[in-house]
Amino acid sequence: MEVKQTFPLTIKRLGINGEGVGYFKRQVVFVPGALPGEEVVAEVTKVLPKYSEARIKKIRKPSEHRVTPVCPVYEECGGCQLQHLHYTQQLKEKRDIVIQSLERHTKLPVAKMDIRPTIGMENPWGYRNKSQFQVGEQGGKILAGLYGLNSHKLINIEQCAVQHPATNKATEAVKSILQEFNISIYNEKTQKGLVRTIVARTGIQTGELQIVLITTKKELPSKEQIVQEIKRRLPEVVSIVQNINGEKTSLIFGEETETIEGNDFIQETLGDLQFELSARTFFQLNPEQTVNLYNEVKAAAGLTGTEKVVDAYCGVGTIGLWLADQAGEIRGMDIIPESIEDAKKNARRHGITHTKYVPGKAEDVLPKWVKKGWKPDVIVVDPPRTGLDSGLLQTILQVKPQKVVYVSCNPSTLAKDIEVLGKSYQVEYIQPVDMFPHTAHVECVAKIELRS
């Protein structure tokens, strides 16, 4: 196979990144934008030892589930991967991605496993509560958006279909204010200029709005006038923050953050819980589905009021606090000390006293607790995309809690970790949850029990 070669290809399934997967002369070919069941003419763009990448030259037979994307910059942007697939079919394909991962990375009898239909959204648009749009300049006009797929071209996004309307409106307003005050815009190539990124976060339940301007230097010309203009055009703003990031880096936030108007945070509600979200606090991007996800965690944990529960990778304590009313004791740990302080604060605010939060890695902290005679009945894990640390997997196998509830944002690492835990544990069921409609991401809650 060589670059520019064309051939007919039948698409068999979706890959983990939402691309179509077909086979040509027994070689795997990934085709972005192609859908299962489609017959396409593919043109090779890249050849690697184990697979090739291609683009669609022509669709000979389209999928019955193919739809027209609502977003005008869908194909350039790359933020969503599945807008061209009907939403009900997206849910089926996401379940299939979970099954594929289990088949690839485990020896389990996957066909006999209880892998449930994906929990979707009634309205799968406008769900993201936070946008982080890079700013740039073209012909004297300020743009705000995302860098295009595999490129350094900034795509101007005026109305992102998956962003909450409040964040779209806020970004547009701030962009025009910066334009009116002639504020210099950072240029990635020359590394000169002031404003790099506009971050807008809304409390979907509370309606509060936070604006963060990420700048290369602390001095912001016309700061007072900009603040007053933001407040005039966006009365729902309760927090305006400046973050300074002068480094040459792909990281959005720098280390220095200063509130320039209003509160340090906005309030958001999940179920009966209230949270304070400061500029750099991690919080789920889709609060509506977060409630569904956490309710699935609660169902899988099956608590009776007496259990000792560990919330590993606890962050600001959201999952543990969600379970607290049915647990005997909640203990959590996280490697970010600020998150632990927030978790303690969140527990205090809700009058939840049977919690203990400590900074550190679960694989270091847990054995110390066990040594002192405190052994968990249930461990809830919500790791990053890389999955569980091998040290934690071994710790779980040694400590042997009755139940592990695994919240996963990556089916491949979930499957690999299940295979390791399989020495002592069995999977009762896996419940996929669609946290990010129109993207290839799928979250899962896996209920894993100690073998008797």
Q: How does strand 154-156 pair with strand 308-312? A: unpaired
Residue 409 appears among annotated catalytic residues: yes
Cβ–Cβ under 8 Å, residues 220 and 207: no
- Rounded to an integer, what distance in angstroms lies between the CA atom of residue 339 and that of residue 317? 8
From 71, 80, 314, 409, the catalytic residue: 409
Look-up: residue for tokens 């604060």?
345
117 φ, ψ (degrees, to nearest 5): -60, 145
412 close to 16: Cβ distance less than 8 angstroms? yes
Cα 171-175-176 angle, rounded to 5 deg: 125
- Number of neighbouring beta carbons within 10 Å of residue 138: 11
Judged on CB neighbours under 10 Å (0-12, 13-18, 19+), 27 is middle
User: According to the 3-state scheme, what is the secondary structure of 22-76?
Assistant: EEECCEEEEECCCCCCCEEEEEEEEECCCEEEEEEEEEEECCCCECCCCCCCHHH
Q: How far apart are CA 2 and CA 17, in angstroms?
A: 23
Positions annotated as catalytic residues are 409
